[in-house]
Amino acid sequence: MIFSILLTVAFVVMSLYALAFMGGRRLGKLLLVFYAVAVFIVWHPEASTKIANFTGIGRGVDFGLMLVSVLSLNLIIFLIHHVHQLHRQLTLLARSIALGQAITARSALPSTPTAPAEGECTDLKAGAE
Amino acid sequence: MTPSYIIPGAERGGIFVVIAAFNEEKVLAETIADVARVTRNIVVVDDCSTDLTSAIAQACGAHVIRHPINLGQGAALQTGIEYAALLGADYIVTFDADGQHCADEILPMVEALKQRDVDIALGSRFLGGVKNLPRSRRLVLKLAIKFTQWTGGGRFTDVHNGFRVMSRRFFTHFKFDQNRMAHASEILKYIAANKIPYIEFPTTVTYSQYSLEKGQSNANALRIIMELLLKRVSR
């Protein structure tokens, strides 16, 4: 009973997460269906055995293990999505800082910078080598 | 991406060349000098180099933007494009920092884009010329062309060529979302998916010992595929 409640809470939390971050997307909807089925199986374990027998897996436990594997995969997808979002925000922030600094520096210049004639930057180039 | 304002005092219009650079102190001055024969509007985006890249670009008279952290070539190009747009660019040329492109081809490419009234001109080394290309790299590039075709990226004679000319119409609508090398596939996919009018222009790519060591390794092809797949998953 306790395990069933804990699992239900876990699935509900993950459903809320899916709804909040991926609700409108096809993958988000698919995950919601998946979690609803998972909660049903938690409270009706005999159903998992029936499904397992029907699908030719043999035991409900094996079926459960397979579900856990799928769940782990879902978690990884969540994490990839989350990391990607963070990375995108970080890119925008870094770009904003870089552009801001370039514009400020440019505004402080007395005149427009222009590229030099040939050979003008030889000194620095030689220094770099 | 529409610039909300134009930087005060900026020279409006014209051709802007955007160069993404990461630790390119050895060749950058030469590349800038080469481009400066064609246009003085040169934007160098230093992707958080640990060498003298920024200082050299500054000394050479380029507009310099420096990323506070290393983001990748795609992100650096996007930063440069946004900056050039703020300066009122009419045409933006993306150009590699390692000196493998030929600046003499910039103006003919821009002219071809204008005459054909298309939104983007893509450099093609296989229509033009390629010097010192190792056999293994040629094979990887040919496979990349096929991969792009199979994955709905369109039929192109060259992929992952950093030499392009974009019209204002193009760069105000398109934005590089792939930070790293997969940006080159991303732009082709965008062109194919949105049926953007384009031309492929024969360009010359000269591989040097430096560009081969500094540029993409063949193993990067796998990384690019992974980046494209991850983007699909995380969308």
- pLDDT tens per residue, range B18-34: 999 999 999 999 999 99
Residue percentage of chain B with pLDDT more than 90: 66
Contact: A84, B10; criterion CB under 8 Å: no
Chain A: closest CA distance from residue B157 (Å): 31
Q: Helix/strand/coil (H, E, C) string of A25-56?
A: CHHHHHHHHHHHHHHHHHHCHHHHHHHHHHHC
Contact: B68, A87; criterion CB under 8 Å: no
CB atoms inside a 10 Å sphere around CB B62: 31
Nearest CA in chain A to B234: A81
Q: Is residue B167 a part of any domain in this protein?
A: yes
Of B40, B59, B71, the CB nearest to A121: B59
Domain of residue B120: give its range: 15-234
A81 touches B: beta carbon within 8 Å: yes
Model confidence at B140, in pLDDT bands (50, 70, 90)? confident
Residue B46's CATH number: 3.90.550.10
Give the helix/strand (H/E) hosting B15: strand B15-21
- Chain A residues whose CB is inside 8 A of the B178 CB are none
Model confidence at B8, in pLDDT bands (50, 70, 90)? very low
Contact of B201 with B111, CB cutoff 8 Å: no
Selected residue with higher pLDDT from A117 and B160: B160
pLDDT of residue B113: 96
pLDDT of residue A117: 53
- Chain A residues whose CB is inside 8 A of the B56 CB are 121, 124-125, 128
Q: Is residue B7 a part of any domain in this protein?
A: no
Model confidence at A14, in pLDDT bands (50, 70, 90)? confident
Q: pLDDT tens digits for A72-90? A: 877 887 888 888 889 999 9
Q: Is residue B6 a part of any domain in this protein?
A: no
Chain B: closest CA distance from residue A64 (Å): 25
pLDDT of residue A15: 83
Instruction: Please tell me the distance from the alpha carbon of residue A41 to that of residue A45, in angstroms, as a whole number.
Output: 5
Contact: A98, B79; criterion CB under 8 Å: yes
Most confident of A38-47, A110-119, B40-49: B40-49
pLDDT of residue A115: 53
Q: Is residue B26 a part of any domain in this protein?
A: yes
Please say if the pLDDT value at position B6 is more than 60: no
pLDDT of residue B72: 94
Please say if the pLDDT value at position B131 is more than 70: yes
The SS3 assignment for B124 reads strand
**ipTM computed for the complex:** 0.84
Q: What is the pTM of this model?
A: 0.75
pLDDT of residue B107: 95
Model confidence at A65, in pLDDT bands (50, 70, 90)? confident
Of B45, B56, B65, the CB nearest to A121: B56
How crowded is the C-beta side of A19, counted as CA atoms within 13 Å? 10
Q: Show which of residues 84-113 on chain A sit within 8 Å of chain B, judged by CB atoms.
A: 84-85, 87-88, 90-91, 94-95, 97-99, 101-103, 106-107, 112-113
Please say if the pLDDT value at position B216 is more than 90: no
pLDDT of residue A81: 83
**Mean pLDDT for chain A?**
77
Where exactly are the structural domains of chain A? 2-87
Nearest CA in chain A to B46: A98
Instruction: Please tell me the distance from the alpha carbon of residue A70 to that of residue A31, in angstroms, as a whole number.
Output: 10
Total domain count for chain B?
A: 1
Instruction: Report the pLDDT averaged over residues B75-100.
Output: 95
pLDDT of residue A23: 64
- Chain B residues whose CB is inside 8 A of the A78 CB are none
Instruction: Report the pLDDT averaged over residues B34-43.
Output: 93
Of B5, B156, B3, B142, which is closest to residue B82 (Cα–Cα)?
A: B3
Contact: A128, B32; criterion CB under 8 Å: no
Contact: B45, A98; criterion CB under 8 Å: yes
Nearest CA in chain B to A109: B9
